[in-house]
Structure 1
Amino acid sequence: VNSIDPAILFGISLYLIGMLGVGFYASRKIKDSDDFLIAGRRLSLWLCTATLTATWIGGGAILGAAGAAYERGFLGVIADPFGASICLFLAGLFYVRMMRRMKLVTVIDFFEMRFGRTAGLFSSVIMIVVFIGWTGSLLVSIGFVLHALTGIPENVGIVIGTVIVLIYTVAGGMWAVSLTDFFQVIILMTGLAVAFPIIAHQFGGIREFFAAAPEGSFRMIPQDATFPEWLGYIRMWMVAAFGFLAGQDLIQRALSSKNENVAQNSAYLSSILYLIFGLLAVLMGIAGSVLMPGLENPELIIPKLAMEYLPPLLIVVFISALLAAVMSSADSSILATASVFGNNLLPHLPGGLRKKGTLWWTRCTIPISALIAMLVALYVGEVYNLLLDSFSILLVGLFIPLTAGIWWPRANTPGGVVSMFSGTLAWIFFMWVTPELPADVIGWCVGLVMLIIVTLITSKTSPALPLTDANGNKIEYSDRLGTLSPFKKTSVT
């Protein structure tokens, strides 16, 4: 789309400048590395829910899932939004209370405290690889949106998006990310809620849209599938519902929350919001397959629908919403990478390099991780698969030790470390040897079996490390589940 209305361009530019302004405002709240990395543990329920929802409704949920739904309907988007919504619910139910109780700064702190230094180092490397891959997928999305909007080459769009996200993330850290996410999620929900009825109106209404959708668009279970296809289907659910759980971006929001209840309830609320608005994007992708069949790049369907069917003012809102979706995830992802480096890899560096401190190093690694992610984005052009492959690494390497660390007190250091290494190596091995089978499901099984066997064999010689908080105090195992009610009044700090 090369003939762009100047008013639309002005509106989008205004939005981008506004986000930079919020970032610089947030920078005034930064006193130390805790403020920068976990917002001083002061996020309220609504701010925490907004930043979690906005982080997850990124390029994968909007552009990637709409593109996958354009081609395959619901079966193309099992992982995201369906599996990812389950992940948020599971995080609230089983994980975030204990994480918040331990007063961690990153999820890597958990692996280090529970399974020792080697586990901390290995999980740091895994996390950085994952989030550079994920950031890459998000920067590709920014390139797509700016290309669809202005006609500039996608690579130029990737560079522009990287620079803007970089500036406000370096300035304000988690405060900037949370505040910009709050505005971005409101813009995003407004954009999707307004755009979908307008697109459905092209069919004559929502009922007519459902009738006109290609046959099988809303099928959730494959028909006449072969064994490898069934395994691939199971893999889609597992990577999203389990793999995403160990992500630094998800846990970072729990750690930034005011208390355990806020951590838990924001995960529940985000799960619901994410499913609703992720589904709107998926439905627009299915609508696009009828309104604009034969697209060369289906992941551009949402911006193309917006430019074609929305009035100019709504185009500004909607394209801003798309940019909001992607930028709110990209900033979180870049911050997640830098947090792990500054907080967890820094202590392993020689003493002279450590003198600058966590805050200085974290700020320095933000542009480095953004640059590497940008290079990934420039060379890998597809959003959805890059997103899934990144989180496969978390599924095979970290999900089992994370779960066992909280829920199986006997799980020990050798078991945790061997599980991480064996799951990851099995995943890499089977990707090469049997590419027709989902290597991540096999890697997950290997990691689980090895954790149990090695723990049982070594439990006498290597007792499990107890769960402790950041100050070394033993953690209570009681009330790990908390409550299913999002509005329980009691507060646990």
Structure 2
Amino acid sequence: MAVNIPGLISLIVFYLLIMVFGFWGAWMKRKRGINKSEANMVANRDIGLLLGCFTMTATWVGGGYLLGTSESIYTPGMGLLWTQPPFCYSLSVLIGGCVFAKEMRRQGYVTMIDPFQRKLGRFMGALVSLPAICGEMFFAGAILSALGGTLVVIVGISHEVAVITSACIAVFYTLFGGLYSVAYTDVAQLIFMFFGMWLSIPFIFTNDALIAPITETAYWNQSWLGSWDMNFSGKWIDSTLMLIGGGIPWQCYFQRVLSAKTPTTARTLSIVSCFGCIFMSTPSILIGAAASSINWTATTYGPGTPLENGEEAMILPICLQYLTPPAVAFFGLGAAAAAVMSSADSSILALASMTTRNFYQPLIRPQASERELIWVMRVGTVLAGIVPTVCAIKVKSVFALWFLCSDLIYAILLPQLIAVVYFDPNSYGALPAYIYALIMRLGGGESFLGVPPFINYPGNVFPDKANFPFKTFTMITSLIMLLSISYAAKFLFEKGYIPAKYDFFDCKLAYGGRKIELVHLESKASKDESSSTNQKSEVESN
């Protein structure tokens, strides 16, 4: 495939603009004299409402979000009724803001894993965070892979060059500016997405190849609207709840929440971003609907149709390429690249933050200095860019791995998050619940990876053919098990039925009525921040 020189030039210009915004964020950090690892992770808790709404929305509206929505709308058997992610992820931001954001910010946490390590201990907290780390890693790999496919279609450069270049740029500005750079580039990227996607809509809908208005094709056979099948209603409900609940326990989400100036700001920016996510998904929905209403033989695309050629995953860039003028297609290209980088840099920073604060510092070097932690975070940022890049290039089923990690986050991490934020669990309940949820989810099989089920759920052949909501069943029963065993263990230790010498997890419970204080894992900086934040919260609540 020949390289499209004008498209390549526009892509270079776009990347240079992103670099400018990234270094501007780094300069803003330097101007404020910020040189601490915690401040890099949460931008010194200096993110206001407007900037917070931009960066929160841009984080969720990624390349997979836009391309996947159009693909699902266009694919026969799916359609709008089965295109759940844009609506479910928007609701997850809303619910996360109403249920978790204010409380997490009020406690002064630095990462999402902090409350786990405070209540469950260093090692159990690190174990619980593994699904989150894998999810962020494969999420970054999946969206980088999507970008590679997009640039192959429109520009003609190789998949490897597109992925490596985009990852290097995202790592570069994140390395120097931390969350400041990520937040400021998110503003530019969201603007690119808005104009690039909406600019293409009039040209696509006025193209001569459009057979009929989408309001008419919605009711044709195999239409973009989709059809409802009661035999799969259980699967639909299960997937919907999984996407909503599983969209909450992500470090890239809580990184924005914890960087907000006040707890009230953290909640508000989540609620506003819910509507931003829905609005930004609308062009992708319209493009998918238009693609199913196009006579592709009347375009320069061919031979065949995207569906016949197995290119439904690239239907959005294909529509931009063949249904709009070149200049508009290049703006759409910028929108797709912006969507990918806005999510990739967030995941890279999330990975570096969790590995530095929740693995290296508590498990390897508790006495590490600030200078050492900053360098560890920089190395972690580079590694967090390399691993997803390799996945995007080498692993063909990176999307499948990401979906599996999302399932595990829903089944394993969500119950644990609810417990540590609103209850008083301990490792005696957390560990069995963790193992139980892992077995129950994997027991349902994974069709993407070709793993057959080994637990006989009702009507289960593979998760995509099951009508029993086993993912939600696993999540709920895992939460019940976690709390039941935790409080049972606490009761037995407090009443003296189990001697203190058998407290293998060193939970420091009230043995035989003799209370022993639980020492939380938090730095002096976190204590000071939490204290000041509590005072602000009391004023706001009053």
TM category, shorter? 0.7 to 0.9
2:56 to 36, 52, 55: 52
The separation in 1 between residues aligned to 2:490 and 2:352, in whole angstroms, is 35
The separation in 2 between residues aligned to 1:183 and 1:491, in whole angstroms, is 32
The separation in 2 between residues aligned to 1:397 and 1:185, in whole angstroms, is 32
Q: Is the Cα contact below 8 Å between 1:57 and 1:325 reproduced in 2?
A: yes
How does 1:261-340 map onto structure 2 within 5 Å?
261-291=264-294, 292=296, 293=305, 294=307, 295-340=309-354
Q: Match for 2:240: what amino acid?
A: W
The separation in 2 between residues aligned to 1:337 and 1:31, in whole angstroms, is 19
Q: Is the Cα contact below 8 Å between 1:393 and 1:424 reproduced in 2?
A: yes
2:138 to 133, 139, 152: 133
How does 1:11-410 map onto structure 2 within 5 Å?
11-28=10-27, 29=29, 30-71=34-75, 72-78=78-84, 80-202=85-207, 208-213=213-218, 214-215=220-221, 217=223, 222-225=228-231, 229-291=232-294, 292=296, 293=305, 294=307, 295-351=309-365, 354-355=368-369, 357-381=372-396, 385-407=400-422, 409-410=423-424
Segments of 4+ in structure 1 off by > 4 A? 203-207, 214-221, 382-386, 462-469, 472-480, 490-493
Shift of 1:193: 1.9
Shift of 1:474: 8.7
- Residues 322-362 of structure 1: per-residue CA shift (max 9 Å, x gap): 10001100000111111100111012444499455222111
Q: Is the Cα contact below 8 Å between 1:467 and 1:474 reproduced in 2?
A: no
The separation in 1 between residues aligned to 2:413 and 2:278, in whole angstroms, is 25
Q: Is the Cα contact below 8 Å between 1:426 and 1:446 reproduced in 2?
A: no
Q: Is the Cα contact below 8 Å between 1:140 and 1:381 reproduced in 2?
A: no
Indicate the larger mover: 417-426 or 465-474.
465-474
Shift of 1:88: 0.7
The separation in 1 between residues aligned to 2:414 and 2:314, in whole angstroms, is 33
Computing the radius of gyration from Cα coordinates, the structure with the larger value is 2
Aligned to 2:480: 449
Aligned length: 479
Q: Is the Cα contact below 8 Å between 1:422 and 1:446 reproduced in 2?
A: no
Q: Structure 2 unaligned segments of length 5 or more: list them.
A: 297-304, 446-452, 456-460, 494-508, 511-516
Distance 1:280 1:203, change over 3 A: farther
The separation in 2 between residues aligned to 1:338 and 1:49, in whole angstroms, is 23
The separation in 2 between residues aligned to 1:311 and 1:204, in whole angstroms, is 14
Shift of 1:444: 1.6
- Residues 258-282 of structure 1: per-residue CA shift (max 9 Å, x gap): 1112111111111011112213212
Q: Match for 2:43: what amino acid?
A: A
- Residues 374-409 of structure 1: per-residue CA shift (max 9 Å, x gap): 2221234467544432211211111012113233x3
Q: Is the Cα contact below 8 Å between 1:60 and 1:383 reproduced in 2?
A: no
Indicate the larger mover: 99-108 or 344-353.
344-353
1:471 to 524, 527, 530: 527
Q: Match for 2:454: what amino acid?
A: V
Distance 1:405 1:290, change over 3 A: same
The separation in 1 between residues aligned to 2:211 and 2:256, in whole angstroms, is 36
Q: Is the Cα contact below 8 Å between 1:140 and 1:382 reproduced in 2?
A: no
Given the two structures, how large is their TM-score scaled by the length of structure 1?
Answer: 0.88
Shift of 1:25: 2.5
In percent, how many aligned pairs have the same letter? 24
Aligned to 1:485: none
Q: Structure 1 unaligned segments of length 5 or more: list them.
A: 483-489
- 3-state SS of the aligned residue for 2:444? helix
1:9 counterpart = 2:8: yes
- Residues 290-324 of structure 1: per-residue CA shift (max 9 Å, x gap): 32442422121111111112223322221111100
- 3-state SS of the aligned residue for 2:127? helix
Q: Is the Cα contact below 8 Å between 2:23 and 2:181 reproduced in 1?
A: yes
Q: CA RMSD in A?
A: 3.2
Indicate the larger mover: 104-113 or 160-169.
160-169
Q: Match for 1:161: what amino acid?
A: S
- 3-state SS of the aligned residue for 1:242? helix
